[in-house]
Structure formats: C-alpha cells, structure tokens
C-alpha cells in the first residue's frame, strides 16, 4: 500500500497486516508481519522498482529470526515473489540480500486457469460470480462513453494506472 486511505480500506475489510510502503517503518512492519505469519510467498502488483527485492529481503530477515541454524548463504527457506502488475514501469531491481533460496516470476490469471484445469477454474469462476458484489466488487471513479474515454482529460486520469482511479467504459452511454 502507498496511501493512508488504502490502509484504512483494507483494515475495514478485515485485513490483519497492512504494510504501507510509503512509511519509514515499512520494512520493519513487513518483517514483523512475516515473522508472525511465516509467509514465504508474495505477489507484487507494482512490477517495477525494488518492491520485490524488499519483500524477499524481509522474508529472509523473518526466516533468519526463526531459524535454528546459521548459514553463511542465508536461510534454507525458499522465498517466492510473483510479479503480476505493471504500475511501476521502471526495471525490476534486485538487491541480492536475501540468501540463495528464492525465486521471482511472473503471474497471469489465464495461464494459472489453464494450469489448474477446467473443473477448478469453474469453481473459481463460480466463487467470483457469487461474490461479485462483495469480495470482487469494483468501484469506479467515473463511467464514460467510448467517446468520453478518448477525451484528453479522461486519459490523463485513467492513464496514471493509479489504485482507486478506475474508469468504466460503457459503450451504451
């Protein structure tokens, strides 16, 4: 998270651990959450910059805090970050301070659905359909026509790829 209103929203939805990457305490907060949860898998929706590296580094610190053995190569706990977003279009940078047991990869929904097969994919689709107004509800900043989406002022807003700034393009308008 990078905005206070996003933190508030997630907490109001019941999230126990919300780490705001714009805060000076981000790494300490993330490490504490990782120690408590034991999480070793993460998704990076921003895609660029150093966030994936920071997540892996905090996972390594958390693993080291709970490890019973020391290794000069880092913990033996495998840590994985999947990049599935592209909000940050700068190169993804890794600062190798997270041991040797790690992985980073891309993640997209379509290949995932192909991998899990039709039956499990249909179960997930049914869940989305059941929860379309709750868990999977979308909120839009503005609803515009096709012509409205081509207006420079509209493009300036939705072209930012900012959380909470979705435009719904409605061809019926």
pLDDT interval class at 1 (50, 70, 90): low
Give the residue from 59, 88, 106 where a domain finishes: 106
pLDDT interval class at 9 (50, 70, 90): confident
Q: What is the mean pLDDT of the chain?
A: 90
- Judge if 97 and 56 occupy the same domain: yes
User: Rounded to 10 degrees, what is the CA torsion of 27, 29, 33, 35?
Assistant: 60
* pLDDT tens figures, 96-137: 999 999 999 999 999 999 999 999 999 999 999 999 999 888
Structure tokens at 149: 């989406």
Per-residue DSSP letters for 50-87?
A: THHHHHHHHHHHHHHHH-SS--TT--SS-EEEEE---S
* Domain range enclosing 41: 4-106
* pLDDT tens figures, 25-44: 999 999 999 999 999 999 99
Q: Is residue 71 part of a domain?
A: yes
> What pLDDT does residue 36 have?
95
- Judge if 43 and 91 occupy the same domain: yes
Give the residue from 64, 87, 106 where a domain finishes: 106
> What pLDDT does residue 91 have?
94
pLDDT interval class at 51 (50, 70, 90): very high
Give yes or no for residue 164 having a pLDDT over 90. no
Half-sphere exposure of 65 (CA within 13 A, CB side): 15
Give yes or no for residue 139 having a pLDDT over 90. no
pLDDT interval class at 46 (50, 70, 90): confident
Whether the CB-CB separation of 124 and 113 falls below 8 Å is answered with yes
- Judge if 84 and 30 occupy the same domain: yes
């Amino acid at each position: 998270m990078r905005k206070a209103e996003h933190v508030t929203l997630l907490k109001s939805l019941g999230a126990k651990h919300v780490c705001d990457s714009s805060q000076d305490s981000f790494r300490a907060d993330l490490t504490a959450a990782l120690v408590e949860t034991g999480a070793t898998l993460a998704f990076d929706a921003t895609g660029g910059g150093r966030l994936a590296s920071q997540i892996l580094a905090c996972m390594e610190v958390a693993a080291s805090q709970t490890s019973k053995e020391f290794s000069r190569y880092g913990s033996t706990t495998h840590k994985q970050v999947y990049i599935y977003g592209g909000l940050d279009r700068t190169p993804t940078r890794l600062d190798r301070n997270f041991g040797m047991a790690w992985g980073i990869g891309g993640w997209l929904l379509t290949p995932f659905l192909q991998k899990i097969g039709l039956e499990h994919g249909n179960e997930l689709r049914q869940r989305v359909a059941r929860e379309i107004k709750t868990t999977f509800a979308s909120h839009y900043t503005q609803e515009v026509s096709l012509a409205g989406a081509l207006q420079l002022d509209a493009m300036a807003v939705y072209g930012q790829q900012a959380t909470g700034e979705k435009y719904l393009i409605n061809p019926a308008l």
